[in-house]
Amino acid sequence: ARTERTFIAVKPDGMNRGILGNIISRFEAKGYKLVGIKTLVPSKQLAEEHYSALKEKPFFKDLVDFITSGPVCAMVWEGEQVVVTARKMIGETNPLSSAPGTIRGDFAVDVGRNVIHGSDAVETAQREISLWFEQGELTAWEPTSAVWIYE
């Protein structure tokens, strides 16, 4: 379970607002391991595939337009129960419902500008990681801190 991985993406609002470093710091400080990171402006095809489960939603077009409107920082983080824990760290989908101390609770107001994406389940994470990253872009490594994070 220490090798569970999740897909995290800081959206164009988070990039433009200069909070990428703060967000990365939270996952690092928690004890999770960064195994993949890159910036890109996603293509419409990638965005539509990423959000394909939402294609019937009324906000789908706005969502795709927004995520393709600027840079995204795509990341893969690894660790014990990282999928569900990252979702807790991110907060509720609607930032006005997100608790203070969560990323959306601290940095966002509108649901359409909620700063960050995180996979909602282990299977979703595997799908999203393979959609956004090639296998060779992911780095298996053992931080020297591991013995101080896991007993």
Please give the annotated binding residues, written as ranges.
Answer: 11, 59, 87, 93, 104, 114
71 binds, among ligand DAT, Mg ion, none (CB under 5 to 8 A by kind): none
Nearest to 42 by CA among 24, 19, 15: 15
The annotation places the binding site for ATP at 11, 59, 87, 93, 104, 114
Nearer to Mg ion, 30 or 127 (CB): 127
Return the bridge partners of 33, or none. 78
Please identify which of the residues 117, 118, 125, 132 carries the catalytic annotation: 117
Q: How far is the CB of 140 from Mg ion (least distance, A)?
A: 27
Q: Which one of residues 8, 23, 46, 63 is an interface residue with ligand DAT (CB under 6 A)?
A: 63
Distances from the Cα of 90 to the Cα of 57, 103, 140, angstroms: 22, 5, 25
Site residues (CB under 5 A) for Mg ion, limited to 106-145: 120
Q: Amino acid identity of 66?
A: F
Q: Which residues pair with 73 in a beta bridge?
A: 10, 39
Whether 50 sits among the annotated catalytic residues: the reply is no
What does the alpha-carbon distance between residue 148 and residue 48 come to, in Å, rounded to a whole number? 40
Distance CA 21, CA 12 (A): 14
Chain contacts with ligand DAT (rule: CB under 6 A): 54, 59, 63, 93, 111-112, 114, 117, 120
Catalytic site positions: 117
Chain contacts with Mg ion (rule: CB under 5 A): 120
